[in-house]
Amino acid sequence: MRTIMVALMAAVFLSLLDAQVVATALVRIVGDLGSLNQFGWVTAGYLIGGTVALPICGKWGDLFGRKQVLVVSVVVFLVGSTGSGLAQTMGQLVAFRVVQGVGSGGLFVCVLAIIGEMFSPRAGARYYGWISVTVGVASLAGPTVGGVVTDLFGWRWTFLMNLPIGLAVIAIVSATLHLPPRSAPGRVRIDHLGAVLLTSAIVALNLLANQAGRSDPRSPGVVIGLCMASVLLVVAFVLSQRRAADPVIPLSLFRNRTISVVSVVDVIAGFVGLGSINYLVLWLQSVDRLGAGESGVILAAMMLAVVVSQYGSARLIGRTGSFRWYPPASMALFALTALLFVTAGPASPLPLTILYLLMFGVAAGLNQQALTVAARSGGGTHDMGAVHGVTTMLRQMGRSLGASVFAAMVPVVVVGFVVSLFFPSTRLPEDATADGAAPEGAAPEGAAPDGAAPGTP
């Protein structure tokens, strides 16, 4: 059992680490491949590919066997890693990052479903906790590992280093993981139309979330077009699921009250807990006047609070079997932390700001295991993959939406910061307020800070 869990944790570590290591290598990548205007898609393509794969691979795991889909997902991830490491143009890199993201999403949802199949909800809480620790370690170690590997071996090895670990995962899972067989392939009818419509809808929604956070003058027209396309695609997808023999997302799942509630809370948790991370970085650097290194250390401490909260709640759920109070407690703590941040400002002591961030981290980690266990208890073993795929996808969509909304707030904070540098007093001079002119050097209204990628989670 330990060997299997180590292999599953290694698979999750691979997928989450690769989402982080690239950030520190992007400058070198742009320097080698050029196409600065496309570099944002190196990350966005990975996230979109992963979001698309979550429900589709979850459903395919239910139909064909989760072990088989897990192995195929790792293979796809390694193909994407190899292609990314050997890419000669930015277009090639983005394409292989999408492939890599598909493999990442597939292996992640299969790991969750496999744990749900192997253990009862109460016993599985402990192992979900270990997966959360793995996610936290990957998030904390990713930027450092990416920087070290890039400096020592070059940016291509941030992708190629996945190969030996991925091959080891395939070997261990193939040899040691034994699950009951699924339905015979001849009895399965793949919902191709549903998969295409879902993929199109997710891409449109992600593009909408990304564009909504931009200040481009063309944004209103683009946003309206993407909004209409998203609505039409979602409606078409729902109608197709009502008619499909083996739908990608069985609509009957949402008749279960537990799964419906988990789905809504997942969107909210993704929006607040994950979408606001970039904004918190800006808060530390503009309001508290901290450097990049100092703010990075504080955010690392906050992420550690997330990990401790996730693991602690998982252990408590495993011991007591109760998970109902965790999501309400998490949302209440989110609300309290938001109110405390409203009262904070440049004059607030830094230790107090750090305390608020630690509270935010505890709130972000408190509900995740409860939601995972609740989703597991709400769905049967036969549709475990579909349940985890849907709920994880909704959390990711909430994250993308949250990132775009908070990105739209960035210009307000940046302009306020620049104004405070030029006018230290609490009120602007009358000549500045009369004509609305910004001080020389201030960012124009609606502009994102240099180097920011609005809407990118």
pLDDT of residue 453: 38
Which amino acid is located at 24 in the chain? T
- Asked if residue 429 belongs to a domain, the reply is no
Q: Taking residues 103-119, what's their average pLDDT?
A: 89
Q: Are residues 51 and 142 in the same domain?
A: yes
Write down the residue that tokens 């493999």 correspond to.
103
- Confidence band (pLDDT; 50, 70, 90) for 350? confident
pLDDT of residue 69: 92
Please tell me the least confidently modeled range out of 168-177, 308-317, 408-417: 408-417
Q: Are residues 39 and 79 in the same domain?
A: yes
- Whether the predicted pLDDT of 35 surpasses 60: yes
Q: Taking residues 96-105, what's their average pLDDT?
A: 93
Structural domain range at position 197: 189-245
Q: How far is CA 407 from CA 204, 211, 271, 414, in A?
A: 18, 10, 12, 11
Which residue in 137, 108, 72, 179 sits closest to 372, CA to CA? Answer: 108
Q: How far apart are CA 65 and CA 179, in angstroms?
A: 8
Q: Taking residues 430-452, what's their average pLDDT?
A: 41
Contact call for residues 157 and 36 (beta carbons, < 8 A): no
Please give the residue that has the higher pLDDT: either 378 or 333: 333
Q: Are residues 358 and 268 in the same domain?
A: yes
Q: Taking residues 345-350, what's their average pLDDT?
A: 73
- Asked if residue 316 belongs to a domain, the reply is yes
- Asked if residue 365 belongs to a domain, the reply is yes
Which residue in 301, 303, 296 sits closest to 282, CA to CA? Answer: 296
Q: pLDDT tens digit string along 250-286?
A: 888 888 888 888 888 888 888 877 666 666 766 676 6
Three-class SS of residue 161?
coil
Kindly state the tokens that stand for 165: 């670990």
Q: Are residues 131 and 198 in the same domain?
A: no
| Domain total in the chain | 3
pTM of the model: 0.78
- Confidence band (pLDDT; 50, 70, 90) for 302? confident
Q: Are residues 331 and 217 in the same domain?
A: no
Q: Are residues 197 and 133 in the same domain?
A: no
Write down the residue that tokens 């998970």 correspond to.
323
DSSP per residue over 319-372, as a string? HH---TTHHHHHHHHHHHHHHHHHH--TTS-HHHHHHHHHHHHHHHHHTHHHHH
pLDDT of residue 445: 39
- Asked if residue 81 belongs to a domain, the reply is yes
Average pLDDT, the chain: 78
Which amino acid is located at 39 in the chain? F
Q: Taking residues 216-244, what's their average pLDDT?
A: 84
Q: pLDDT tens digit string along 40-92?
A: 778 778 888 888 899 999 988 888 888 999 999 999 999 999 999 999 988 89
- Asked if residue 184 belongs to a domain, the reply is no
Q: pLDDT tens digit string along 145-171?
A: 878 888 888 889 989 999 998 999 999
CATH number of the domain within which 18 lies: 1.20.1250.20
Q: How far apart are CA 217 and CA 263, in angstroms?
A: 35
Q: Are residues 71 and 219 in the same domain?
A: no
* Sequence-ordered list of residues with C-beta below 8 angstroms from that of 264, at least 6 positions apart, any chain: none
Q: Taking residues 354-364, what's their average pLDDT?
A: 87
Q: Are residues 44 and 112 in the same domain?
A: yes
Q: pLDDT tens digit string along 311-330?
A: 888 888 888 877 788 888 88
Domain endpoint, select from 200, 222, 245 = 245
- Whether the predicted pLDDT of 239 surpasses 90: yes
Which amino acid is located at 444 in the chain? P
- Confidence band (pLDDT; 50, 70, 90) for 448? very low
pLDDT of residue 334: 85
Please give the residue that has the higher pLDDT: either 271 or 234: 234
Q: Are residues 273 and 403 in the same domain?
A: yes
- Whether the predicted pLDDT of 212 surpasses 70: no
- Whether the predicted pLDDT of 180 surpasses 70: yes
Q: What percent of the chain has pLDDT over 70?
A: 78
- Asked if residue 437 belongs to a domain, the reply is no
- Asked if residue 84 belongs to a domain, the reply is yes
Which residue in 288, 281, 275, 314 sits closest to 401, CA to CA? Answer: 275
- H helix intervals, 423-440: 430-435
- Asked if residue 431 belongs to a domain, the reply is no
Q: Are residues 320 and 355 in the same domain?
A: yes
Please tell me the least confidently modeled range out of 32-36, 160-164, 411-415: 411-415
pLDDT of residue 218: 59
Q: Are residues 202 and 151 in the same domain?
A: no
Which residue in 39, 148, 95 sits closest to 86, CA to CA? Answer: 95
- Confidence band (pLDDT; 50, 70, 90) for 186? low
Domain endpoint, select from 220, 245, 270 = 245
Domain endpoint, select from 177, 198, 221 = 177
Q: Taking residues 361-386, what's their average pLDDT?
A: 81
Q: Are residues 171 and 199 in the same domain?
A: no
